[in-house]
Amino acid sequence: MTPPAPDVRLRPVTPADLPALFELQQDLEGNRMSLSRPQSREASDAAWEKTLGSPSRRAVSRR
């Protein structure tokens, strides 16, 4: 028997989330697996500012 799927709820990303999102993207193992490089704090904040300021983009996070 297959277990039920977890109840995942999403919410909009807010500027208050940015420090935690920055820390997550600094994870060396995660970067290795995704073939990406960590950004500086300034570059990360600038990218999120662009995303959060655009009406055509929608960023969500788990509750």
Residue 3 in domain:
no
Residue 62 lies in a domain: no
Q: Do the domain assignments include residue 23?
A: yes
pLDDT value of residue 58? 92
Q: What is the DSSP string of the chain?
A: -PPPPP---EEE--GGGHHHHHHHTT-HHHHHHHT--PPPHHHHHHHHHHHHT-TT---EEE-
Report pLDDT for 43.
96
Q: Is residue 37 part of a domain?
A: yes
pLDDT digits (tens, 9 = 90+) for 5-21: 888 899 999 999 999 99
pLDDT tens digit sequence for 20-48 = 999 999 999 999 999 999 999 999 999 99
In a domain, 36, yes or no: yes
Which residues constitute the domain of residue 44? Answer: 12-53
